[in-house]
Amino acid sequence: MERDRRPELDKVRTGITGFDEITFGGLPAGRPTLVCGAAGCGKTLFATTFLVNGAMLHGEPGVFVSFEERAEDIAANVASLGYDIDGLVAEGRLAVDHVRVERSEIEETGAYDLEGLFIRIGFAVDSIGAKRVVLDTIETLFAAFTDETVLRAELRRLFGWIKDRGLTAIITGERGGGQLTRQGLEEYVSDCVVLLDNRVEDQITTRRLRVVKYRGSAHGTNEYPFLIDAEGISVLPVTSADLDYGVTEGVISSGVPGLDAMLAPGGFHRGSGILISGEAGTGKTMIASSMIAAACARGERCMAFVFEESGHQIARNARSIGLDLQAHVDSGLLRFEAARPSLYGLETHLARMHRDIDLFAPSLVVIDPLSALRGPASELQATLLRMVDLLKSRGITAVFTSLRTEGGFDAQDEFGVSSLMDAWVKLLNVEANGERTRTLYVIKARGMSHSHQVREFRMSSAGIQLVEAYIGPAGVLTGTARLVREAEERAEALRLRQEAERRRREIARRRDAIERQIAELRAGLEAAEEEESVLLGETEAREGRLEAERRERAARRGAAS
């Protein structure tokens, strides 16, 4: 409880995406911050963004004091980012002042101090009620100081004057040899020091940012990649991903009914990571396209990061299997982000994905193919881990395609992406009888029962259909071999049915013949019985007449006597 009552340092939000998160609120309010780095790392843009966001987002006017570039040059440089410096100046929310410092002239007039500069900056601050100040760059201002004691004293005066006025300031400085700045003094008197780096590795440039120190406040201590593009400057704290994200409930269809039927719930878990691996030409992108089409049909937003084909090419190819991805692009549900793997470093690719996902807020993300990314194995592993964590932490269903049949970046690498995936669908080309057929099977699907059978699938204008693969004594048969075997089985079944029918007809004929014989015997028996009955009747009639005649004769003899 005692810790909760500790006072917190007042901070000013910069409005720079990601930077306020890693500094837990922004820059120290009413204090100077040193932003240093080599040429081309983005110091001036960082400082300009700080001022523009303050004026536009937080209602804090600002003053930009440049010792190198003229006001019109600064306005032109940031116009491509959508910053209207001239408009903000006209509205009284921003003031830009170019202070020309010539060392030769200073040497001619002798020693000097910063009193005149303080008066000039103070006037600009008072004229618009500024809360923020940028001084760009400090090396130019102190170029004439050869006495380190005087330089240190003037630096302290400058930083003290900024604090006395309660101004939140950014002071840019050039990187020195072995030190953060050329003089090596600014970093010691600054309350916050931000180091920008423009690093080139394997001919690929990656910009990184690090908060070297921050008096009175905790802060992220890692190096963070940052982007400078048409969207401005954005810092992505992707190096601090945790494993405390929740689980998104629900099941989504893959867009392929046969594949859904192989999974017990009828699809994949929402928010899971799905790997589709296989050789070239097995249909990885088309299966991913089917998942995109199914998600868009449900009204969900989808984003595809593609590294080998353009979005238009994928949409054209998808039409061959009856999918109209362009319609979803036009409706705003689908967005393609295409870039060559060599365009950025791994960190920059990840930072770009982070920024685009936050802006577009998709529910399904496709990365096609993951195996196109190149770099050291350790860096690839770290990048992939962050990529998976980024998507899972937002509950986004992620579909990764990989050219490696075993789900790894390289056949020689022990590290494979499959261990990070929740589901793995493997595609294979089976060659037999002079032809190649496509098959798939589900290697794993965490949290659900699934089929272990190898299934052949066909791609046509009607979509992707799965067919049963023939499994016999010779192994799995697909394609024409399966068709031939199935035709043979149908012919054999027909022969057996015909043989059975012939036997049934033979039995029927024999039954009819026997029944006819029985009928004839029964008729003969009935005739014999009838004849016997007639003979018996005649015998009885004769015996009756004989008996009558005997009685009649007996009667006559009795009368005669």
- For 165-208, write each residue's pLDDT tens digit: 999 999 988 876 555 555 555 666 778 999 998 877 766 677 88
Judged by DSSP in three states, 431 sits in: strand
Sign of the alpha-carbon dihedral angle for 472, 474, 477, 483: negative
Which CATH architecture fits 11-234?
Answer: 3-Layer(aba) Sandwich (3.40)
Q: What is the 3-state secondary structure (H, E, C) of 257-298?
A: HHHHHCECCCCEECCCEEEEEECCCCCHHHHHHHHHHHHHHC
Helices 346-360 and 377-393, packing angle to 10 deg:
10
The residue count of the chain comes to 561
What values do phi and psi take at 90, rounded to 5?
Answer: -65, -30
Helix, strand, coil fractions of the chain, as percent rounded to 5: 45, 25, 30
pLDDT (0 to 100) of residue 199: 77
Q: How many other CB atoms sit within 10 Å of the CB of residue 133?
A: 24
CATH topology of domain 251-468: Rossmann fold (3.40.50)
pTM of the model as a whole: 0.68
pLDDT (0 to 100) of residue 147: 66
pLDDT (0 to 100) of residue 225: 81
Letter string b/e over residues 93-121, b meaning 16 or more CB atoms within 10 A of that residue's CB: bbbbeeeeeeeeeeeeeeeeebeebbeeb
Domain parsing of the chain, residue ranges: 11-234, 251-468, 470-561
Give alpha helix (H) positions in 361-444.
Answer: 377-393
Residues of the chain with pLDDT under 70: 1-7, 101-113, 143-148, 176-188, 202-204, 237-245, 378, 404-416, 432-433, 469-483, 559-561
Judged by DSSP in three states, 415 sits in: coil
Cβ contact 173:34 at 8 Å: yes
